[in-house]
C-alpha cells in the first residue's frame, strides 16, 4: 500500500486548522455573538472602568436637586470607574425629560441616573435604553419601567414619621397645615399617602390648609405668612421647606408653632440654637443620587445589585441635641442637606467632596 503524498498531508493539516478556528468563533446557540450591557466586548469580557454616566434632572435652582447632582459627581470621582458625567439639567415635565433621555441615549452613555417626573410616562424610552444595554437608575422617585433600578428614600415613611411626631407633640388634637411639594410627581404623592396614614391615627387633628410649594423656599415662605396671619394654626408639616417657614413667624411677630421639616442645615441650626423653635428634621438626603450611581456601577461591573433599594428616614427632633449636632455643618449654607454619607453605598469623604461638585475630568 502506498503512503499519501506530502501534498495530501499538507492539505489535510490546513483543513483541520480551518475547522478548529471556525469552532472557536462560532456564535452561541440562538444567534450571533453580541456585546453585553455596559459596553462589553464581543469576546464576552465585562468592561470594568471608563464609564460615561448620564444624569437627567428637571428642577433647576432647587438646592436639594443641585446637591443630588454634586453627590453623583463626588461618587463618580471617588469610584475611579467613571471617565465622564454628562448632566442634562433644565426645568420641565415628562415631555422635556423624554427628549433629554433620548439625547443621553444618543450620546452613548453606559448608565442613566434620573430623578423622574412621572412614574409611568417615561417607561417607553427607559425600556428602550435598557434594551440597548444601558443601565437605568431612578433616584428619589420611582418608575415602573421593566428592568430599571429604583433607589429612593422612603417617601411615604418620610411623611408619616414626621406627621406622627407632630400630631403627638400637639397632644393628638389641633389645627395643622400641610405644605406639600409639586402636585402629581411621585415623591409628593407618596408623601401625601404617608401624611394621610398618620392622620387616620389621630382623629383629633384637623387639616385647615393644604398648599403646593413647588419645593420653592420663597413660595413656601409666602404661603406660610398668609396662613399664620389669617388662620389659627397649631402645627405645620412641610415637605422640606422648613426654615423659611419658621422665619415668617418672626416676620409676623408670632411665636412659632411645632413644625416638621427635612435635614436642612438652616433648620437644624434653629433646632439647636433657638429655644423658641420646636420641630423635627426628617432625613431625605440628596446623596440618594450617589447611592444610585453606586448601584449603577455595581450593575455595570457584574455585581448584580437588587433592583429596589429603599432608605429608611431618621427623625432628629427638639431635645435630641447629640443627634442634631451630628447633622449640623457649620461651614455649609442653610439649604445644605446635612445627611451626606450613606454607607455602604457612598465612598467620598464627606461634605467637602460633595460641595466641591467635581466629576472626573472637570
Tell me if residue 327 falls in helix, strand or coil: helix
Residue 313, classed as helix, strand or coil, is coil
Share of the chain above pLDDT 70, in %: 87
Q: Which residue has the cell 437605568?
A: 136
CATH number for the region 51-154+286-311+338-356 comes to 3.40.50.2300
Q: Are strands 259-262 and 235-238 parallel, antiparallel or unpaired?
A: parallel
How many angstroms from the chain centroid is the CA of residue 177? Answer: 27
Percent of the chain at pLDDT above 90? 83
Residue of 224, 141, 117 whose CA lies nearest to 178: 224
Average confidence (pLDDT) over 264-288: 96
Q: What is the pLDDT of residues 314-349, one digit of tens each?
A: 999 999 999 999 999 999 999 999 999 999 999 999
Asked if 206 and 231 count as a contact pair (C-beta separation under 8 A), the reply is no
pLDDT level of residue 27 (50, 70, 90 thresholds):
very low
Closest CA to 36 of 51, 47, 23, 52: 47
Q: Give the alpha-carbon dihedral of 58, 62, 64, 66, to 10 degrees.
A: 70
Whole-angstrom distance, CA of residue 12 vs CA of residue 4: 11
C-alpha cell at 149: 433600578
Regarding the domain with residue range 155-282, which homologous superfamily does it belong to in the CATH classification?
Answer: Response regulator (3.40.50.2300)
Of 117, 119, 38, 79, give the one whose Cα is nearest residue 290.
79
What was the pLDDT predicted at 69?
A: 98
Averaged pLDDT, 19-42: 32
> According to the model, what pLDDT value does residue 159 have?
98
Whether the full predicted model's pTM is greater than 0.85, yes or no, is no
* Spatial distance between the Cα atoms of 118 and 115, rounded to a whole number of angstroms: 9
Q: Which helix (H) or strand (E) holds 175?
A: strand 174-180
Domain with CATH 3.40.50.2300 in the chain: 51-154+286-311+338-356, 155-282
How wide is the angle at C-alpha 64 spanned by C-alphas 305 and 129, nearest 5°?
40
Q: Where are the alpha helices (DSSP H) in the chain?
A: 6-24, 63-79, 94-106, 123-131, 155-169, 186-201, 217-230, 243-251, 265-273, 288-300, 321-327, 351-356
pLDDT of 46-73, one tens digit each? 678 999 999 999 999 888 999 999 999 9
In sequence order, the β-bridge partners of residue 84 are: 52
Residue-wise pLDDT for 109-126, tens only, equals 999 999 999 999 999 999
Contact 233, 208 (CB under 8 A): yes
What's the grid cell of residue 140? 428619589
Amino acid at each position: 500500500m502506498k503512503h499519501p503524498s506530502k501534498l495530501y498531508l499538507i492539505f489535510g493539516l490546513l483543513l483541520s486548522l480551518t475547522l478548529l478556528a471556525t469552532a472557536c468563533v462560532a456564535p452561541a446557540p440562538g444567534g450571533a455573538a453580541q456585546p453585553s450591557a455596559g459596553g462589553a466586548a464581543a469576546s464576552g469580557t465585562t468592561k470594568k472602568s471608563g464609564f460615561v454616566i448620564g444624569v437627567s434632572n428637571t428642577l433647576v435652582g432647587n438646592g436639594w436637586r443641585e446637591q443630588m447632582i454634586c453627590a453623583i459627581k463626588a461618587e463618580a470621582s471617588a469610584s475611579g470607574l467613571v471617565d465622564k458625567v454628562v448632566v442634562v439639567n433644565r426645568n420641565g415635565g415628562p415631555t422635556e425629560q423624554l427628549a433629554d433621555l433620548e439625547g443621553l441615549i444618543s450620546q452613548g452613555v453606559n448608565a442613566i441616573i434620573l430623578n423622574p417626573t412621572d412614574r409611568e410616562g417615561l417607561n417607553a424610552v427607559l425600556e428602550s435604553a435598557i434594551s440597548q444595554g444601558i443601565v437605568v437608575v431612578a433616584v428619589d422617585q420611582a418608575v415602573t419601567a421593566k428592568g430599571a433600578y429604583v433607589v429612593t428614600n422612603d417617601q411615604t415613611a418620610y411623611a408619616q414619621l414626621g406627621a406622627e411626631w407632630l400630631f403627638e407633640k400637639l397632644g393628638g388634637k389641633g389645627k395643622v397645615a400641610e405644605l406639600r411639594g409639586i402636585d402629581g410627581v411621585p415623591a409628593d404623592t407618596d408623601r401625601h399617602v404617608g401624611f394621610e396614614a398618620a392622620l387616620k391615627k389621630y382623629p383629633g387633628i384637623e387639616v385647615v390648609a393644604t398648599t403646593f410649594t413647588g419645593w420653592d423656599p420663597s413660595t413656601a415662605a409666602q404661603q406660610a405668612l398668609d396662613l399664620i396671619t389669617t388662620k389659627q394654626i397649631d402645627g405645620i408639616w412641610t415637605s422640606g421647606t422648613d426654615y423659611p417657614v419658621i422665619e415668617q413667624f418672626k416676620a409676623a411677630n408670632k411665636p412659632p408653632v411645632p413644625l416638621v421639616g427635612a435635614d436642612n442645615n438652616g433648620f437644624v441650626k434653629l433646632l439647636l440654637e433657638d429655644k423658641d423653635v420646636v420641630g423635627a428634621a426628617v432625613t431625605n438626603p440628596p446623596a440618594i443620587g450617589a447611592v444610585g450611581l453606586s448601584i449603577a456601577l455595581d450593575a455595570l461591573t457584574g455585581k448584580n445589585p437588587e433592583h429596589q433599594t429603599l432608605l429608611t428616614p431618621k427623625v432628629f427632633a427638639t431635645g435630641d441635641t447629640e443627634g442634631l449636632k451630628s447633622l449640623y455643618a457649620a461651614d455649609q449654607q442653610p439649604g445644605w442637606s446635612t445627611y451626606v454619607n450613606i454607607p455602604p453605598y457612598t465612598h467620598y469623604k464627606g461634605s467637602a467632596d460633595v460641595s466641591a461638585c467635581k466629576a472626573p475630568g472637570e
